[in-house]
């Protein structure tokens, strides 16, 4: 319990931001998957990179949310710890990296599978408010140590 408290960072963002970003991610990844577009998957990789390193509140999608969507929303601010969506961005980054490597090396199947997993996660997040960190993180820890 004490470690939980210690790990508590005060960074709290609007939970509707990552959910909106997930919806755009679905659109971008779906298009990339169908067209096998290197520029599109690379663009999404950069977005994931920003989301995983700087934080999901600094991506271009988050900027769109803040400037265009948020002022029009009538629902209330939903506070969310920044760490869970950041974890999801890191997982997305891994899949996008594999996808880009697959496409560059001509291994299209690798691209398709990796992009497919990233798309599934983004879709689950956008449509069902799926918490990737809740479902995956503990399993990873249990498998590793």
Binding site for another protein (CB under 8 A): 1, 3-4, 7, 15, 30, 33-36, 80-81, 83-87, 112, 116, 119-120, 123-124, 127-128, 130-135, 137-139, 141-142, 145
The residue among 68 and 108 lying less far from another protein, judged by its C-beta, is 108
Helix 83-104 with 16-35: angle, nearest 10 deg: 10
Q: Distance between CA atoms of 48 and 59, rounded to whole angstroms? A: 8
Count the neighbouring beta carbons within 10 Å of the beta carbon of residue 140: 11
CB-nearer residue toward another protein: 33 or 98: 33
| Least distance CB 1 / another protein (angstroms) | 6
Nearer to another protein, 65 or 87 (CB): 87
Cα–Cα distance between 4 and 144 in angstroms, integer?
21
């Amino acid at each position: 319990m004490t470690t939980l408290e210690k790990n508590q960072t005060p960074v709290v963002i609007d939970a509707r931001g990552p959910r909106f970003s997930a919806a755009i991610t679905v659109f971008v990844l779906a298009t990339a998957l169908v067209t096998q577009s290197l520029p599109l998957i690379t663009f999404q990789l950069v977005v994931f990179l920003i989301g995983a390193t700087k934080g999901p509140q600094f991506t271009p999608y988050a900027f769109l949310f803040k400037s265009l969507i948020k002022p029009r929303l009538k629902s209330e601010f939903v506070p969310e710890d920044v760490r869970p969506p950041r974890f999801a961005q890191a997982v997305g980054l891994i899949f996008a990296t594999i996808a880009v490597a697959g496409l560059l090396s001509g291994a299209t199947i690798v691209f398709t599978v990796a992009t497919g997993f990233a798309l599934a996660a983004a879709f689950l997040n956008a449509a069902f408010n799926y918490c990737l960190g809740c479902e995956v993180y503990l399993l990873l820890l249990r498998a590793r140590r």
